[in-house]
Every structure is written in C-alpha cells, then in structure tokens.
Structure 1
Amino acid sequence: MTRPRPGFADDLDETLAEAFRLLARGVADRRSPIHTPSLASIGPDGAPRIRTLVLRGFDAPTRTLRVHSDRRSGKAMEIAADPRVAVHAYDAGAQVQLRLGGTATLHAEDAIADAAWATSTDNARLVYTTALPPGAAIPTPTLPSALSDGREHFAVLVLRFDALEWLWLCADGHRRARFGWDSAGQASAEWCVP
C-alpha cells in the first residue's frame, strides 16, 4: 500500500508550516536531529566557521532561534564583528534539509540572558564555570576546576532568519523551496530545482 503524499510536497504554505514544525520539535525533543543544528559565522580572516549547537528556543512569528554560548567564545566574537550567520539542519528520518540565513545578536547581561540562565540545568551551566575560554589549550583533557557559577561567561545568541531553504528528498520526486522575508517582514516563496 502506498502512503499518501504529504500536503507539504506540493503546497508552499504547508512546506513552511512543516519546516516550522520541525524547528519547534527540535527544541522540545532532544532526540530530534534538528535539536543540534550547525551554525556558521564569519571568522576574522573572512573564512566561514561552523559548529554544532543545541537549539534552545524557536519563535515562529519572529523567525528567531535561540542557542546558548560562552561569551568568550570565538563564535561570540565573530558575531559581534559581523552578525551574519547561517544555520544548517538535517533530519534523516524526515529526509529534510533546512538552511537558514540571517543575523544574530548576543545577549549577555539582559533579561533574555537572565531568563535563559534561570531555566538552565546545573549540568548545562557547568561548561561556563572555567577561568579559561573555550578553545584555550590545556595540559590534560579534563576541565579545570570550576572558579565561578558561570553566569558571567554565559550568553544567549538570538538568530533571526530572513531566508529559509527547504529540501525534501523523496523517491517520487524531490522538492526544494525557498522562502524569504524583506525588512518589512513581507514574505516571498518559490519552488526551486532540487
């Protein structure tokens, strides 16, 4: 018996709704592949830098993602210098790739960071407790002793996307769609060659 073709296969509005559903699930379900997307920023030498992060929040009306970071990290410094970012996520089970482009803002000493810190687990807070910044050389592979509760090193990155590309792989015919939003929030959508 053949499965019915999903509505998002041939409808741009349903495709965008499915993309947003996958992002929301990525926040709520730690087993979702979308829970750990890759974030690319622009390094000081102009080269791209990419890393995997944990998706902590998604707000569809504002098209924002929330991730946490050490404010001393390379990504935080890169985003402070050039806020343009790209996000990539792939869900092998759904056979969907999402690519998002936009800008990021760093929140370290404001209500956004305070609220995120307040809901973080002790285990999640542990990575912010070291005196040395992420990427610093250490003599052994263990974390140095905690020197603080970590709040002073904690930051939230809010990523607002103005472009979203969807690629669905299907034996009956792949589907690729591109969505964009202008500075006034006006949306555009189009199908693309997969």
Structure 2
Amino acid sequence: MPAESAPGLTQALDLAFQALAGGVTDRRSPFHTPALATVARDGAPSLRTVILRAFDPATRRLRIHTDSRSPKTAELRAEPRAALLAYDPATHTQLRLAGRVTLHDCDAIAEDAWVTSRESSRMTYAAALAPGAPLPAPLAGPDDPQAGRIHFVAVVMTIDCLDWLLLDPAGHRRARFTWDETGAMRASWIAP
C-alpha cells in the first residue's frame, strides 16, 4: 500500500471495526474465529479458538459463547480480563483486543443469545460431560439441543484496548486505541 493511500488513525479504527463486524456475519472470515487468551488457575496463559457471535462498535462490546463447565468460564470468573487475537492473511491485518468480560447465564443477554443460536451450536452445550473431561473413547453427540441451555454462557467483552497492525512491504503500520472508564478514546501510532 503506497504511503499516500495508507490509512489514518480514524480509518484504521474503522477497518478494525469492519473486520470484527464481518467476523460475526462471515463464517469464512479469519475474524470469525479469534483466539481467546485467559489466565489459567495456575497463573499460566490459556489460549483457545472461539467464535465471534456479536459485535457492537458503538459500545465496543463483542460476544462469544461458552459452556459453564469449561475451564475458560472458571478462569474468567476468577480474572475477568481477557484478550483476543485475530489475523487475516489476505489483508495482512492483525487485531489484538483486550478488555474485561461479563458472564451471562440466567439473564436476558444469555436468553437472547441462546434463542438466536443455531440448533447445531446449541448441541455443543448439551453434552453429558464437561469440556475437557477424560474419555475412554469418543462419545456420540447429544440429541436434545434444549438440554444444553443450563450449561450455556454468553461472554461479553468490552474492548479497552485495540491494537491494529498492517503488515505492508512498503512499511508496516500499527495503531493503538485505548478507552478509559468514561469511554474517552486515545489513539496513537506506535512502532510496529
């Protein structure tokens, strides 16, 4: 990308938000399956791929889903700070997001997320055993998607920091956007 067509800070944030919005609606988008980092109970980093289910740029909130019995749920209850990472090899764009999460299992947010989920997604939470439980052999899948509602948790992250990186042969560009508790934003270019 020639320097004269390089994005400015406002455009970089717009591109980041468009990538996240596209990750919600386009299952083929690399931003549909970011990696979520949490702190494990022993203090070690814990990383896994999740599916981006919703994003609201006005509130900087995104949503993923999890099983209440999963280690990530316990990790987020103990330490609500988390990070997401996604990279698009086609556009050479990396997004790193950090923020605080809230867990929703028995409220309107959880219910709305549950009823708008596809049946195949609901089946994930209907498994008899908790994610990560040892098995002697693979199990057959459950047959009642409604049975999973009791284990379903909507995880909502409010983005406090967004790091946008464009890997460009003409010169890498990196911007950082941070928001304080009032929602005031600070934006700056930083070294790639």
Range of TM-score over shorter length: over 0.9
Contact 1:34 1:91 in 2 (8 A): yes
Say whether residues 1:112 and 2:97 are aligned partners: no
2:150 to 149, 152, 163: 152
Structure 1 equivalent of residue 46 of structure 2: 49
SS at match of 2:82: strand
Q: TM-score when scaled to structure 1?
A: 0.93
Contact 1:105 1:157 in 2 (8 A): yes
SS at match of 1:75: helix
Whole-angstrom CA distance in 2 between matches of 1:4 and 1:55: 32
Report 1:40-119 matches (<5 A). 40-119=37-116
Shift in Å, 1:138: 1.1
Moved more, 111-120 or 141-150: 141-150
Q: TM-score when scaled to structure 2?
A: 0.94
Instruction: Tell me which amino acid in the other structure corresponds to 1:191.
Output: W
Instruction: Tell me which amino acid in the other structure corresponds to 2:120.
Output: N
Give identity over the alignment, percent: 50
Structure 2 equivalent of residue 124 of structure 1: 121
2:8 to 8, 11, 14: 11
Contact 2:3 2:170 in 1 (8 A): no
Contact 1:44 1:78 in 2 (8 A): yes
Instruction: Tell me which amino acid in the other structure corresponds to 2:172.
Output: H
Contact 2:59 2:158 in 1 (8 A): yes
Per-residue CA distance 1:55-80 (angstroms, 9 max, x = gap): 00000011111001001110011000
Instruction: Tell me which amino acid in the other structure corresponds to 1:193.
Output: A
2:160 to 155, 158, 162: 162
Structure 1 equivalent of residue 189 of structure 2: 191
Whole-angstrom CA distance in 2 between matches of 1:4 and 1:59: 31
Contact 1:41 1:48 in 2 (8 A): yes
Structure 2 equivalent of residue 142 of structure 1: 139
Instruction: Tell me which amino acid in the other structure corresponds to 2:122.
Output: R
Contact 1:84 1:104 in 2 (8 A): yes
Shift in Å, 1:46: 1.0
Per-residue CA distance 1:45-99 (angstroms, 9 max, x = gap): 1111010001000000111110010011100110001101010000111100000
Contact 2:2 2:170 in 1 (8 A): no
Segments of structure 2 that go 5 or more residues without pairing to the other structure are none
Aligned length: 191
Whole-angstrom CA distance in 2 between matches of 1:95 and 1:80: 34
Per-residue CA distance 1:135-156 (angstroms, 9 max, x = gap): 0011112346457621000110
Structure 2 equivalent of residue 30 of structure 1: 27
Shift in Å, 1:132: 1.1
TM-align CA RMSD: 1.6
Cα gap change, 1:38/1:6 in structure 2, threshold over 3 Å: closer, same or farther? farther
